[in-house]
Chain A
Amino acid sequence: MSAVMISRKVTRKWEKLPGKNTFCCDGRVMMARQKGVFYLTLFLIVGTCALFFAFECPYLAVRLSAAIPVFAIVLFLFVMAMLLRTSFSDPGVLPRALPEEANFIEMEIEAANGSIQAGQRPPPRIRNVQINNQIVKLKYCYTCKIFRPPRASHCSICDNCVDRFDHHCPWVGNCVGKRNYRYFYLFTLSLSLLTIYIFTFDIVHVALRSMDSGFLNTLKETPGTVIEVLVCFFTLWSVVGLTGFHTYLISLNQTTNEDIKGSWSGKNRIQNPYSHKNIIKNCCEVLCGPTYPSVLDRRGLMSVEAPSSTSSPPTPDNAATKSNPATPNTKTTAPLIPNEHTPDEAKPGIGTPPQKTNGSIPKEGKPSSPRDASPKRSPAPIVVKESAH
Chain B
Amino acid sequence: LWQTHSLQDLRQQAAIASKVFVQRDYTSGTICKFQTKFPSELETRIEKQQFEETVQTLNNLYAEAEKLGGKSYLEGCLACLTAYTIFLCMETHYEKVLKKIAKYIQEQNEKVYAPLGLLLTDPIERGLRVVEITIFEDRSIGSR
Interface residues of A (CB under 8 A from B): 1, 77-78, 81-82, 85, 94-95, 97-98, 100-101, 104-105, 129-132, 136, 138, 146, 149-151, 163-164, 183, 186, 273-274, 284-285, 287-293, 295-297, 309-317, 325
Given known A-B contacts A313-B109, A314-B120, A100 and B30 have beta carbons under 8 A apart = no
Interchain Cβ contacts under 8 Å between A and B, 30 examples: A1-B8, A77-B83, A81-B85, A97-B129, A100-B132, A101-B21, A101-B126, A101-B132, A105-B21, A151-B30, A183-B84, A284-B73, A285-B68, A287-B76, A288-B72, A288-B73, A289-B72, A290-B67, A290-B92, A290-B93, A290-B94, A291-B75, A310-B15, A310-B16, A311-B16, A311-B119, A311-B134, A313-B106, A313-B119, A314-B122
In the complex, chain B residues whose CB is within 8 Å of the CB of A293: 92, 94-95, 98, 124
Does B112 lie at the interface of the complex (its beta carbon under 8 Å from any beta carbon of A)? no
CA distance A94 to B30 in the complex (A): 14
Within 8 A of A (CB), among B65-102: 65-68, 72-73, 75-77, 79-80, 83-85, 87, 92-95, 98-99, 102
Contacts of B2 in A (CB 8 A): none
Are B26 and A138 within 8 A (Cβ)?
yes
Q: Say what secondary structure dominates the interface of chain A.
A: loop
Number of interface residues of B (CB under 8 A): 54
Interface residues in B1-36 by Cβ distance below 8 A to A read: 7-8, 11-12, 14-16, 19-21, 24, 26-30
Chain A residue nearest to B114 (CB atoms) is A313
Contact A136 B26 (CB under 8 A): yes
Count of A-B residue pairs with CB < 8 Å: 127
- Interface core residue of A85, A288, A313 (most chain B CB under 10 Å): A313
A150 CA to B15 CA, complexed, in Å? 36
Kindly provide the distance from the CB of A102 to the nearest chain B CB, expressed in whole angstroms: 10
Query: Does B116 have its Cβ within 8 Å of any Cβ on chain A?
Result: no
Within 8 Å CB of A316, what residues of B? 99, 102
Q: Which residue of A lies closest to B132 (CB)?
A: A101
Supposing A290-B67, A293-B98, A314-B120 touch, asked if A309 and B127 sit within 8 A by C-beta, the answer is no
CA distance A228 to B91 in the complex (A): 40
- In the complex, whether B125 has a CB less than 8 A from a CB of chain A is yes
